[in-house]
Structure 1
Amino acid sequence: MKNSRYRQLALAMLALAVLAPSAAPRAHAETAQPATQQAPLNIAVIDIQQILRDSTAAKSVRAQVDKQKDAYQAQIAQQENALRDADKKLAEQRATLSADDFAKKQDQLRQQMDQLRQNSEKLKQQLEDAFNAGMGQVSQALAGVLTDIAKQRSLTLVLDKRAVPLSANSFDITADALKGLNAKLPSVTIPKPASQ
């Protein structure tokens, strides 16, 4: 859910970054020139989802997050197993412990389980934040690449391919944008979540 909202925000920011530099001159030109002499409309389309999937930087973000996620899942599974073992031992000791001692140990065990759950949620949130920060860097670099391409080709409008039902292949700048992004930002290093 959050990831989807982030992508929508990133796409909106990307569209603004690409279109804003060309919007102001066009608005000025429209007031200065008669309607018959408007600047030509040069349009391109881009598959942003493909770029966010296939760029080396985006792949590096996903690989780092997956690696950290696997490591923390293994760590959490180990802690869960230790707590299950402690719960079994406590159940075996129930007959030999006083009711107060048993209740205290059971409460301690419950607190440890709650702490593990909280730590797990914190790690999950930190990994999501790291992913979003990394993909934010990718989106920011892509906006710069698209701005450069728009200037080079005198583009006045760049649209997300998903918003365009049909277009000629000559309008598609996805390959050039992907190549430019890979050159500008080959990888992104995301921060490791704090150990819990």
Structure 2
Amino acid sequence: MRIIIKPLGMVFFALAIGGGFAAVSLKKTGPLGIGAGAVALSGHGNNVVAEEKWKFYTEKGAVGNMTVTRETIEGAPRNGLKILADRPGEQPWNLGISNALGTPFKAGEKLQLRFWGRSEQGSQVTIILQRNVPGFPDCFKQTLTLTPQWKSYQYDVTTTAMAQWESMIAVHAGFQAGSLELAGVELVRV
């Protein structure tokens, strides 16, 4: 049996082979511009925080923005988020970031929240695991003051029951004007 490939067929054959190699070597880039080859903001393993889902928000007169950063913390390169509060709103939750986890939780599950944080002006921040429903009931809430140097934070969390579409992490950053940075945000089952 002989296979005869005509010139036009050869072009399609070459494109198919080349496309296959290209598909293997392409890096997927998420909405924040972080490629798959980069060290993820959200880490690895059983972490339920997806880096591409972080969203910045403002309300009630708050003004600010969020940018993606690349930092070296304890010798490891990490992607991070820098939150700038030009003008905080009426309440700390009027400016911040949120991440829809898309993960269901049973009541009483044990999790660990880990992240790196810093703020040149010593900004306060509240980090919350909550249900994304009216009233935003939380099962974990911690307010802390960040230091100018990178510092590692770790908290044990016990969940309340949350449907997949309800689970969300929020960071309230509207306590004062200034900037803060977070990196390596992980929420893992333990």
TM-score, with structure 1 as normaliser: 0.22
* Larger strand share, 1 or 2: 2
TM-score, with structure 2 as normaliser: 0.23
Q: Which fold has the larger relative contact order, with Cα–Cα distance below 8 Å and residues 6 or more apart in sequence?
A: 1
